[in-house]
Amino acid sequence: MNQRSLARISALFTVLFLVLAARFAWLQLVQAPQISANRSNPRRSFIALGRGRILAADGSILAATEGTRRVYPMGRALAQVVGYASRRYGTSGLERAYDELLAPPALSANPLQQVQNFIASFQRFAPQSGDDLITTIEPKIERRLAELLAQHARAAGIVLDPRSGAVLAIASTPSFDPNTMGSTFAGALHAKDSPLLDRALEGLYPPGSTFKMLTASAAIDSGRVGMHDVFQDPGYLMIGKARLHDNDYEATGAGTIVKAFALSSNVDFAQIVLRTGASTFYRYLRRFGIGASLDFQLPTAHAFVPPESHIWAGELAQMGFGQGALLVTPMQIAMIAATIANGGVEERPFIVRAIARRGKILTRTPVGPLGSPVSAQTAAKVTKMMEAVVAWGTGTSAQIPGVTVAGKTGTATNPHGAADSWFVCFAPAESPRIVVAIVVENAGYGATVAAPIAREVLARSLTVITK
């Protein structure tokens, strides 16, 4: 064999090697994320192996791998949020939202980790475990919230720090046990009461009178209504041929917006929103982000807001007190209250505080405001109205000795049975640190059912954060 033939053979083998190397790189760097994420991938049967932990704010474990299975120490209390990682049923919750980081590099769908793993393969070593999530969840608050909500058939709640947007607790009932997904998933999937649904983030409800927080904010901030303007509530209001009335046909008589808010007069708030006007009201809906996508780390449902072009006076009047076609999530109501508590500044909500690898922080969640829907002066005025609700209005059942609580009741009628019971509050009203929003489906008056739950959760939260 002559030298020219050897050169040709060498060139051929070089080309073949380059083709194989390119194919390997293509599979490892480009197609690997798609292959890894595919539930049919046999390697997904080892989904728990090397998977990173999910940790609470105090460092306690919310999800971790023991042997070949994933374990969830808080079980039902945080099931929809933490989710599950199952070789048979895939992932949900934080396990799904952060799957690319939690999964070890060999199984990750994260292109960056695939590159790192590709380089490590040439260095004869590779990292074995995925990254850890450090959340903002406070277990003592979470357990109390879940315990109280579990006493009802269907309910949801959320606890926020209005100063930062950190989610301290979030729960939904009915729930499920992520530790037993192998035997209970099929039943949970087809259950009529939807235990897999995170009602706090994805449940859409008419907000009832809790929405008067936004209506009052829009009316005052726009200058359309003054604090001393007097409204008349004889128990009903005629709008064309439509007749609006208060709960149980009560009549609060003459009073300012403070009295209307504290006693939750639908008749007064229909007049207030009509004076504010549809264009102004919708401008403030947009300022508060109602109907827009909420920039959060877990999936959340968009509030449903009727198109402004289709609004007539009767529909606008009902929206002013949280009825009509308006639908929102408990998270959205908590965010409205948090904005008022934070002096008119709406902080971006978050539940994952940082990503860590082998005990070292890799990245922290960027925090900061989404906007300032209303002025600090308006927020202060609405806070005083909310204080009146708890001091002498419809929300006295939320009083905590020695603490000034600001709150708002809601009793929201719906086409699916008895009214939903709502309560939203924050404290201490002078310097708010905790916001609580509660909804209990088909439970009746907000003051009777939701407010006592919120009071207990608020009291526990204030104890936890002041230690």
Task: Specify the pLDDT at position 357.
Answer: 92
DSSP state of 400: B
Query: What are 440's strand-pairing partners?
Result: 155, 421
Between 24 and 319, whose confidence is greater? 319
d(CA 92, CA 80): 8
pLDDT for 211-237, tens place per residue? 999 999 999 999 999 999 999 999 888
d(CA 250, CA 214): 23
The Cβ of residue 262 has, within 10 Å, a number of other Cβ atoms equal to 25
d(CA 21, CA 275): 71
Asked whether the beta carbons of 114 and 29 are under 8 A apart, the reply is yes
Q: Which helix (H) or strand (E) holds 369?
A: strand 369-371
Burial class of residue 372 (count of CB atoms within 10 Å of its CB; 0-12, 13-18, 19+): middle
In this predicted structure, which of 34-48, 181-195, 230-244 has the lowest mean pLDDT? 34-48
Domain ranges of the chain: 42-135, 141-178+193-349+367-465
Between 131 and 112, whose confidence is greater? 131
Task: Specify the pLDDT at position 22.
Answer: 60
Confidence of residue 294 (pLDDT cuts 50, 70, 90): confident
Confidence of residue 351 (pLDDT cuts 50, 70, 90): very high
Confidence of residue 178 (pLDDT cuts 50, 70, 90): very high
Domains 42-135 and 141-178+193-349+367-465 share a fold: no
Between 49 and 223, whose confidence is greater? 223
d(CA 90, CA 70): 12
In this predicted structure, which of 128-132, 300-304, 429-433 has the lowest mean pLDDT? 128-132
pLDDT for 438-456, tens place per residue? 999 999 999 999 999 999 9
Interacting residues of 47 by C-beta distance below 8 A, sequence separation 6+ = 70, 85, 86, 87, 91, 103, 107
Confidence of residue 124 (pLDDT cuts 50, 70, 90): very low
The Cβ of residue 306 has, within 10 Å, a number of other Cβ atoms equal to 18
H helices of 150-250, where? Answer: 181-190, 199-202, 212-221
Asked whether the beta carbons of 330 and 157 are under 8 A apart, the reply is yes
% of the chain beyond a pLDDT of 70: 85
* pLDDT over 70 (residue 276): yes
Task: Specify the pLDDT at position 186.
Answer: 87
pLDDT for 330-343, tens place per residue? 999 999 999 999 99
In this predicted structure, which of 31-35, 43-47, 205-209, 417-421 has the lowest mean pLDDT? 31-35
Asked whether the beta carbons of 249 and 235 are under 8 A apart, the reply is yes
Topology (CATH level 3) of domain 42-135: Penicillin-binding protein 2a (Domain 2) (3.90.1310)
Backbone φ, ψ for residue 458 (5° rounding)? -65, -45
Please write down the long-range contacts of 184-187, taking CB distance under 8 Å and 24 or more positions apart. 185/86, 185/88, 185/89
Confidence of residue 40 (pLDDT cuts 50, 70, 90): very low
Confidence of residue 416 (pLDDT cuts 50, 70, 90): confident
* pLDDT over 90 (residue 283): yes
Task: Specify the pLDDT at position 249.
Answer: 72
pLDDT for 247-267, tens place per residue? 777 888 999 999 999 999 999
Task: Specify the pLDDT at position 122.
Answer: 45
d(CA 365, CA 382): 30
| CATH homologous superfamily for the domain 141-178+193-349+367-465 | DD-peptidase/beta-lactamase superfamily (3.40.710.10)
For the segment 69-74, the average pLDDT, to the nearest whole number, is 95
Q: What is the mean pLDDT of the chain?
A: 89
